[in-house]
Amino acid sequence: MRSSIPAFGITDMQKPSESTAFIPPPPSRGLRLLLLLWNDKFAFAGAMFVLMVVLFAIFGPWLLGDVATKMNLRARNMEPFTLEKGWLFILGADALGRSILARIMVAGQNTMAVATTAVFAAMIIGGTFGLMAGFIGGWFGNVVMRLADMIMSFPSLLIAMIVLYMLEPRVENLIIVLGITRMPIYMRTARAEVLEIRERLFVSAARVMGASNWRIIGRHIAPIVLPTLTTIAALDFAFVMLVESALSFLGIGIQPPDITWGLMVSQGKNYLQTAWWLSFFPGLAIMLTALSLNLLSNWVRIALDPVQRWRLEV
């Protein structure tokens, strides 16, 4: 009984495809999205830049780690845009004669790692709390919402500064603080969506069939909420990157000898009068990366929204 139906189905379905074999199959979903991306030149440029930064973040320290830390006192504060010391010194050298370009490529790793971990942790933990708050409600929901209000009513930079100074500025603490300050938005969004979804028919159906609360949340509700949370995370990433840079700039983020872009800007601050390129180029790297991320996440938001996608296709 069970095997007979698919058998008919397959033979029926194969017939038309055989007769139209010379027509190329419609492009897959991934390819269609790539074509859409190619159509929007700004978003495409952003995507390429982000890809480049990610590649440098992964392979940079491995390829250029030695060059980035090698001092060369004869190249101290060397001017940019000359090739006499090789292409690595095209952006000049810092106060100890280290190549700025190599250092920018290597420093991207810390910035990216902190931002990725913090945003991911905030999304998972905040999202889970929000899901539970919306589904269980009651006093638990209230506590979660008050907590979100409390974190949100003070700007993340300030909380981060107070806590980091008091706890000791280490990478782990930086990630924890940034993660906590970004959590409320996921809590609120997840809760708001769950409040609406849990009243729908398929949730009642699952409950009638005897599914546990955990199964309903994990299996039926979370998959609907996840795309919204991912979109927020994409937008959040650039913001967290900027906050991390600001903290490192103020000297309570990542500490030397580790480097991040914000720290490089801060170190170059003392040489503004003699060597402007020390702080200019790392800051430019921050801005271009944040800009690319913003362009890309704007595009993703439209491309993943079936109601708005036509805007990209015309």
Which residue's CB is nearer to other proteins, number 89 or number 299?
299
Could you tell me the smallest distance in angstroms from the CB atom of residue 246 to other proteins? Answer: 6
The reply on whether position 166 binds other proteins by CB under 8 A is: yes
d(CA 266, CA 261): 9
* Positive/negative CA dihedral, 109, 113, 116, 118: negative
One residue of 47, 68, 203, 286 binding other proteins per CB under 8 A: 286
User: Which one of residues 91, 115, 265, 300 is an interface residue with other proteins (CB under 8 A)?
Assistant: 265
Size of the site for other proteins (CB under 8 A): 40
Among 63, 294, 301, 312, binds other proteins (CB under 8 A): 294
- 93 in helix, strand or coil? strand
Residues 181-200 touching other proteins, rule: CB under 8 A, are: none
User: Which residues from 21-50 bind other proteins, rule CB under 8 A?
Assistant: 42
Reduced to 3 states (helix: H, G, I; strand: E, B; else coil), residue 101 is helix
Please check whether residue 183 is in contact with residue 126, taking contact to mean a CB–CB distance below 8 angstroms: yes
Q: Which of 105, 23, 34 is nearest to 65 (CA)?
A: 105
3-state SS assignment for residue 277: helix
Using DSSP, state whether 301 is helix, strand or coil: helix
Interface pick for other proteins out of 127, 249, 253, 254 (rule CB under 8 A): 249
The half-sphere exposure of 33 on its side-chain side, counting CA atoms within 13 A, is: 13
Tokens 């006499």 correspond to: 84
Taking contact as CB under 8 A, which single stretch among the options 97-105, 122-130, 220-228, 241-249 is the one that binds other proteins? 241-249
Contacts to other proteins from residues 104-163, by CB under 8 A: 146, 149-150, 153-155, 157-158, 161-163
Candidate residues 276, 301, 304, 312; the one interacting with other proteins per rule CB under 8 A: 276
128 vs 125: CA distance, rounded Å: 5
CB of 217 to other proteins, least distance (A): 27
C-alpha–C-alpha distance, residues 29 and 152, integer Å: 38
By CB under 8 A, name the binding residues for other proteins.
42, 146, 149-150, 153-155, 157-158, 161-163, 165-167, 238, 242, 245-246, 249-250, 262, 265-266, 269, 272-273, 276, 279-280, 283-284, 286-287, 290-291, 293-295, 298
